Chain A
Amino acid sequence: MTELASQPDTAPSVWQSAVTLMTVAAICTALVAMTYYGTRQQIADNEQAWLEQSLKPAISGVPYEGDLTSDPLVISAPNELPGAGDAVVYRVQSGGNVVAALFVVTATDGFVGPIRLLIGLQDDGTLTGVRILEHKETPGIGDLVDQSRSDWVEQFVERSLGSPPVELWAIQRDGGEFDQVTGASITPRAIVKAIRETLVYFEAHRESILTLPSTGEAVTPE
C-alpha cells in the first residue's frame, strides 16, 4: 500500500488507460475501414476475374455467350454430390439455352485434406473438362493434380457415364479404366470417384439443374 501511495501521480488511472486504449483502437479501426472502402471494388473485381478465369479451362470446345459466372445455381446440402455443404453449379448459356454446367465440388478423401474440383459437363452429360482448383497434396507425389506438371486430367474430356460404364469409372488398380500414377493412387482415386459421383448426380437431376432459376438461394433439385 505504501508503495502505491508513494507514487500516485506517475501511474495512470485505470480510466486513463482505458480511454487511451479506446482512442488508439478507434483510430486503428478507422484506418482499417478506410483501407477497406478504398480497396473493396478492386477486390470484388479481382475475385470475379479469378473465378471467370478458373472456370474457363473446364469448358474447352463448347461455344458459349456471356459470362460463365452469370447464372449460378446453389444446390443445398445434404446432396449426393461429393463433399459436404452446398455445391455451386455455373450454367453456361448459348443462344438462350443452357448448353453446359460447371460443377464446383470437393473430393474429401484426398491424401492431404480436401481437393476442390471444377467439373464441366455438356447438357448431355459429356465431360468438357476437369480442373483442380485447390489442393494440399504433397508436391511431387500428387503432381498429377498440378496442371503445369501433368496432363492427367485431360483424359476425362469427352468421357461420360456411358463411356466407360459406371462400374469402370475407377482407377486401374481398382479394376477401372483410368490411369493412376505409380506410387500415388490415393489422389487419382479420390478425383475419379468425385467425377463419377458428379456424373451420376447430373444424370439423375439433369432437367432441374439446367432449368431452375438462379435465385442466389440454395435449392434442392428434384
Chain B
Amino acid sequence: MSDVTPISSRFRRGLWDDNPGLVQLLGLCPLLAVTSNFINGLGLGLATLAVMALSNLLVSATRRWIASEIRIPMYVVIIASLVTCIELVFKAWFPALDRTLGIFIPLIVTNCAILARAEVYASRNGILDSVIDGVVMGSGFAALLCCIGFFRELIGRGTMFARMDMLFGGEPMPGIQLADNGLLLLLLPPGAFLSLAIAVASKKAIDRRRQKSASFRLSI
C-alpha cells in the first residue's frame, strides 16, 4: 500500500494541518521546557526529527514480524535505542548544545508524538512513505519549537539567534541584540505556556479566517 498524496501536501499536513505540537498537542514536555531560545528549539527539533524519521524507518521495516501483542515494547526498544544513539552523536559533535539541552535529549524517548507516528503510520505503511512521514511530522514539531524559541528569546531577552555556534561551531556568537533587556516572564515556565497558547490560538484564527473567505467565495 502506497501513499499517493503528493509530498507538498504531506508537508502542509505535517507543518500546519496536523502539526504534532500545534494541533495534536503531543510532546509538550520538551516543547515547553527547552524553548527559551531559538537555538535550543532548533537543536531539540532536529534531534526529534532524526529520531522520528529513523524510528518510522525501523518500525516500518520490521512491521511484518511484529505481532500486535508485542508492538508497544518493540516500539519502545527501537525508539529508546535510537535516542541513545542520537544522544551520543550530540555529545560527540555538538557538546555545547548537549550541555544546554541536558536531560531533554534522553527524554525524547518519552515524546509521545514519536510513538504515535510509529503506531498510527509506520506500522501500516511502506518504508519510504514512513520515512517521509517521520520527516514531515518531525519538521512540523521542529518548526514549532523554533517558532516558540524565537518568540520567547525575542521578547524575553531581546536577542535573535543567539549562540548559533552551539550547532554550527566556531566562536561564541552573541546573536542580534535588539534590546538590553526583555520581558522576563517569557523566559520563565509560564512564558512557555503563554507562547504555546498564542501559537495555538493564532493557528486557529488563521484557519477560521481562511475558512470564512473560502465559504464567502463559494457563496458568490
Contact = CB atoms under 8 A, between A and B. Distances in A.
User: Does chain A bind chain B?
Assistant: yes
Interface of B: 36, 62, 65-67, 69-70, 73-74, 77-78, 80-82, 84-85, 88-89, 91-93, 95, 99, 184, 187-188
A29 interface: yes
Nearest to A28: B81
A125 to B, nearest CB: 32
A22 to B, nearest CB: 10
A20 B77 CA distance: 12
Interface stretch (A39-47, A68-76, A90-98, A199-207): A39-47
A46 B96 CA distance: 9
Contacts of A24: 62, 66, 74, 77-78
A43 B84 CA distance: 14
B93 A42 contact: yes
Contacts, number: 63
Interface of A: 11-12, 16-17, 20-21, 24-25, 28-29, 31-32, 35-36, 39, 42-43, 46-47, 50, 138-140
A134 B88 CA distance: 21
A34 to B, nearest CB: 8
A28 B77 contact: yes
Contacts of A17: 67, 69-70
B67 A16 contact: yes
A140 B184 contact: yes
Given A28-B81, A32-B85, A43 B184 contact: no
B35 to A, nearest CB: 14
A39 B92 contact: yes
A155 B69 CA distance: 64
B187 A139 contact: yes
Given A139-B188, A140-B184, A12 B95 contact: no
B159 to A, nearest CB: 11
Contact of A43 (B62, B67, B80, B88): B88
25 contacts: A11-B69, A16-B67, A17-B67, A17-B69, A17-B70, A20-B65, A20-B67, A20-B70, A21-B73, A24-B78, A25-B77, A28-B77, A31-B81, A35-B88, A36-B88, A39-B89, A42-B93, A43-B92, A43-B95, A46-B91, A46-B95, A47-B95, A50-B99, A140-B184, A140-B187
